[in-house]
Structure 1
Amino acid sequence: MAFDEIFWGFLIALGAGALIGLQRQQSRDEEKGPGVGGLRTFPLIALAGALSTFIAHTMGMWPMLGAMVVIGVFLAVSQYQESSRSADPGITTQVAALITFLLGVLALSPGIPLPVGDRYLLIVASAGVVMALLSFKEPLHQAVARISDDDLYATAKFVVLAVVVLPLLPNRTYGPFNVVNPFHVALMVVLIAGMSFLGYIAMRIAGPRHGLLATGMLGGLVSSTAVTISLATRARESPPMVALAAVATVLASSTMFLRMLVVIGVVAPNLLTSLIWPLWIMALGGYGTALLFYLKSRAILHEVPPVLYYNPLELGTALKFGLFYAVVIVVAKGAQIVLGDQGLYASSVLAGTTDVDAITLSVARFHQEGLDTRTAATAITAAAMTNTITKAALAAWFGGKPLAWRVALGLGVALAGGAVTLVFTT
């Protein structure tokens, strides 16, 4: 190793130890109790790892192993002393100290199959992650407390489905028009359910204290239709909630457009350039109108009521989406074969009245198989517009006229912007 690489390796090791030690020092000061160490101890542990590894270049692995044993003994003694003082001592600090030592080892280890710069970046990033995990102790514990046992069981079952059942499915096409691939259908179910689940967990973690923002922005990741129906029903029962329901509904529908961009970016990245502007403009139009509604009515807005969501990882919900996606892809392909592009547009409009994800995935797949970019972009945008119009109709049906004109105005601005953009960009 060259001198500059050795020099920078020591500095990176010290820096990584300092990051972790800074958090441990602050935690120890807040708890006002003894601990393994803080801002001085953790950089020294990292330095011990780096020094022992540097010496090991000429003396073999024994200096590094010896240093690890010595530090391990110190940590064991510290854990023993802490367990005698506390009924629930935990081992987080000891594990952090061991990681700090290993980061020091990594900084000076020869033969690592990474460029030097990438190795240093990995060390600093790892130290940052450890620092964040240690700092977010209370928020993480509170977040876990908000996750129910049913959510945990549903997640476990879905993980088994995704990692055990999915790889066993046949990866070939069946059925009418030879377009239904069981493996591909299950993979799309995992993609959509996983994305919805992230929004669902974010909603559970955010909780009711974030009110309107959480319901609108995060609710759109889970189900903008659920947000629309739930709040529209509340708005009909309680007129003062009309302004709040309008803001949250428009926010959720606008978030749906960004969610579609993420899905397309994963499934058909080469289609993203044709859709990014129409969907992005629709999202901005919706967000802008929601902001205007909020600024006009914020004096009367109160805490948003909870919205009932179903866990997207429930097997029943996931299997229903898989079946619907399979039906949509057959219908869309059949319409395209029989009626051409107009048939595809018609099936997109029809599917968009119920669910926008299935037709988005279907058209993205057709594009991967050779469908013209303009046709694919038009079909997906038409589905997004139809789904948006459907939600406006649902808001009017469940919420009445006071809510209907607000939602229609907000979503109308979004649709107009998307239509104009689509004309000029495809």
Structure 2
Amino acid sequence: MLEFNVFYKLVAAIGIGLIIGLQREHTYFDATDRHPAGVRTFTLVGLGGAMVAMLCGLMESAAPFVAGFIVIGLLLVASHIAFGLSHHVESSVGSEGGAAPAAGITTSVALVIVYLLGALCWYGKLLESCVIMVVMLWILTVKQQLHDFAKKLSREDVLATVKFAVISALVLPFLPNQAYGPAGLQVLNPHTIWLFVVFISGIGFVGYVLIKIVGPGKGIWLTGVLGGIASSTALTLNLAGRSRENEAYASDFTLGIVLSWSVMYVRLYLICIALSGSLAGPLALPLLVPVVPSLAYALFLKLRTSRKRQEHSAGFSNPFKLLPAIKFGVVFTAVMFVANAARVYLGAGALLACSFLGGAAEMDAVAFSVIDMHSKSGLPVRELVLAFLFASLANTLTKGGLVFFLGAKSMRKPIVPAVVLICVTTAALIAVYF
């Protein structure tokens, strides 16, 4: 009896090899490049990977897979050697000599990966194999863009990337993931604090990559949108600090920061209704109304920036600045400690004061706390809304202060209207609910 599951896995392996092979075949139009395998070879190698995996199961041994791996390696080596010899002969008999073009090492590596993907298909990892295939297609297709991006990087950029990898990959795993502090105030978690430091530094790297790809203007604005999705407070700190060394782009930094504030409100609203769908109506006014003046002012900044846009000859400096991120991590921890102390020692009756203090550090912590109190302790909707409003008011003032005191002087004047507009709108909503 035919087993459909067997043929399904084999077809998946064949399909992956075929798709990757078609992409590689397309690059044959580049006469200076050498490819040791085409669409047929890739398809057969994908099928072969699945077949040797099947044989491994039948024989209860990894020998077929290893043998297949060795055979493919030897064939690729033979292909490269044959190409080198043929080019040498052609150069010897031809009227013009020259250096041999580079052999297709990328294609050889892709062929080996297709062999591995064929084996993964046999073991039922079809989704994982398809995801890897898509990533491979992207890497193989954007060859020129990746090379152009690599050329834009300086030695300082590479060193900064290494430093970032060290603080995130080597330091973070060894920090204790345990909260310390007095009873009821155990909020000092070294792992969490350092993770926040890494997160702030990471926002700078994401923004720097965008700036390198699409230019300082659009790159900074996109960073603002992405930062608002992640953490508008961290984004504000990062861009404010960056503006001191790149003051020519201060207007772009201001726009990116205001955009992150707008996105923060929308993100928080979506998170809240995901946690409790019944709050979609009550939280619409306090979380979505402040978005209107914020986006309106962002549009004003965008139009004004476009009119004044000039090409700056100065390069954009490297993003790796660990010390400011550490300082903000310390401040963030201190504010969270004070906010939790107010909650513990002042009690639930001081909800608005606690929300104001907590919002000065991070809106998400306040949101999760009050929603939990609403669902478990029956916190009235009116008090929940006021808690959100007080937290957002403090959050806006904090972020405005970060820009005013840490950013370039040219950012102080344009950031004030954004702070005033959002705070006035929030204060009006507080008056309505009181």
State whether TM-score is above 0.5.
Answer: yes
Ranges in structure 2 where 5+ consecutive residues have no aligned partner: 88-99, 228-233
What is the match of residue 95 of structure 2? none
Shift in CA distance, 87/70, structure 1 to aligned 2, threshold 3 Å: same
What is the match of residue 26 of structure 1? 26
What is the match of residue 382 of structure 1? 393
Aligned-partner Cα distance in 1 for 2:142–2:430: 44
Q: CA deviation at 1:160?
A: 2.0
Aligned-partner Cα distance in 2 for 1:370–1:21: 57
Q: CA deviation at 1:271?
A: 8.2
What is the match of residue 198 of structure 1? 202
Q: Contact 1:14/1:46 (CA < 8 Å) preserved in 2?
A: yes
Q: From 218, 234, 241, give the equivalent of 1:213.
A: 218
Percentage identity across paired residues of the two chains: 18
Aligned-partner Cα distance in 2 for 1:231–1:26: 44
Specify the SS of the correspondent of 1:298: helix
Q: From 114, 117, 121, give the equivalent of 1:107.
A: 121
Q: CA deviation at 1:125?
A: 1.2
Shift in CA distance, 233/257, structure 1 to aligned 2, threshold 3 Å: same
Is 1:322 the counterpart of 2:329 in the alignment?
yes
The C-alpha deviation readout for 1:213-238, integer Å capped at 9, x for no partner, is 22233157364256458769998xxx
Q: Contact 1:20/1:128 (CA < 8 Å) preserved in 2?
A: no
Shift in CA distance, 319/297, structure 1 to aligned 2, threshold 3 Å: closer
The C-alpha deviation readout for 1:399-419, integer Å capped at 9, x for no partner, is 49xx84x65555555556667
User: What RMSD in Å do the two structures reach over aligned CA positions?
Assistant: 4.7
Is 1:67 the counterpart of 2:44 in the alignment?
no
Q: From 290, 298, 317, give the equivalent of 1:290.
A: 298
Q: From 310, 332, 336, give the equivalent of 1:302.
A: 310
Using CA pairs below 8 Å that are at least 6 residues apart, which structure has the higher relative contact order?
Answer: 1
Aligned-partner Cα distance in 2 for 1:66–1:329: 59
Q: Contact 2:339/2:354 (CA < 8 Å) preserved in 1?
A: yes
Aligned-partner Cα distance in 1 for 2:326–2:368: 20
What is the match of residue 159 of structure 2? 149
Q: Contact 1:250/1:290 (CA < 8 Å) preserved in 2?
A: yes
Q: Contact 1:254/1:282 (CA < 8 Å) preserved in 2?
A: no
The C-alpha deviation readout for 1:65-113, integer Å capped at 9, x for no partner, is 443332221123234456787697684332221110121122234xx5x
Shift in CA distance, 122/392, structure 1 to aligned 2, threshold 3 Å: closer
Aligned-partner Cα distance in 1 for 2:432–2:56: 65
Q: CA deviation at 1:156?
A: 0.8
Specify the SS of the correspondent of 1:40: helix
Q: CA deviation at 1:255?
A: 1.2
Aligned-partner Cα distance in 1 for 2:75–2:407: 68
Specify the SS of the correspondent of 1:25: helix
Is 1:17 the counterpart of 2:24 in the alignment?
no
Q: Contact 2:208/2:319 (CA < 8 Å) preserved in 1?
A: no
The C-alpha deviation readout for 1:270-310, integer Å capped at 9, x for no partner, is 48977798556645653444234434663442347767675
Q: Contact 1:226/1:307 (CA < 8 Å) preserved in 2?
A: no
Aligned-partner Cα distance in 1 for 2:400–2:256: 15
Shift in CA distance, 264/409, structure 1 to aligned 2, threshold 3 Å: closer
Q: Contact 1:253/1:286 (CA < 8 Å) preserved in 2?
A: yes
Q: CA deviation at 1:383?
A: 2.6
Larger CA Rg, structure 1 vs 2: 2
Q: Contact 2:236/2:403 (CA < 8 Å) preserved in 1?
A: no
Is 1:125 the counterpart of 2:139 in the alignment?
no
Q: Contact 1:392/1:408 (CA < 8 Å) preserved in 2?
A: no
Ranges in structure 1 where 5+ consecutive residues have no aligned partner: 113-118, 236-240
Aligned-partner Cα distance in 2 for 1:196–1:219: 13
What is the match of residue 333 of structure 1? 340
Aligned-partner Cα distance in 2 for 1:223–1:15: 43
Aligned-partner Cα distance in 2 for 1:366–1:212: 37
Shift in CA distance, 331/265, structure 1 to aligned 2, threshold 3 Å: farther
Q: Contact 1:216/1:227 (CA < 8 Å) preserved in 2?
A: no
Aligned-partner Cα distance in 2 for 1:148–1:101: 32
Shift in CA distance, 174/232, structure 1 to aligned 2, threshold 3 Å: closer
Shift in CA distance, 360/37, structure 1 to aligned 2, threshold 3 Å: same
Specify the SS of the correspondent of 2:173: helix
Q: TM-score, normalised by structure 2?
A: 0.70
Aligned-partner Cα distance in 1 for 2:363–2:160: 30
Aligned-partner Cα distance in 1 for 2:166–2:83: 35
Shift in CA distance, 231/149, structure 1 to aligned 2, threshold 3 Å: closer
Q: Contact 1:285/1:413 (CA < 8 Å) preserved in 2?
A: yes
What is the match of residue 251 of structure 1? 256
The C-alpha deviation readout for 1:191-250, integer Å capped at 9, x for no partner, is x33433332122222336522222233157364256458769998xxxxx8xx8556413
The C-alpha deviation readout for 1:98-145, integer Å capped at 9, x for no partner, is 110121122234xx5xxxxxx322221111112222334444455553
What is the match of residue 78 of structure 1? 79
Give aligned pairs, total.
396
Is 1:311 the counterpart of 2:317 in the alignment?
no
Q: From 137, 140, 143, give the equivalent of 1:134.
A: 140
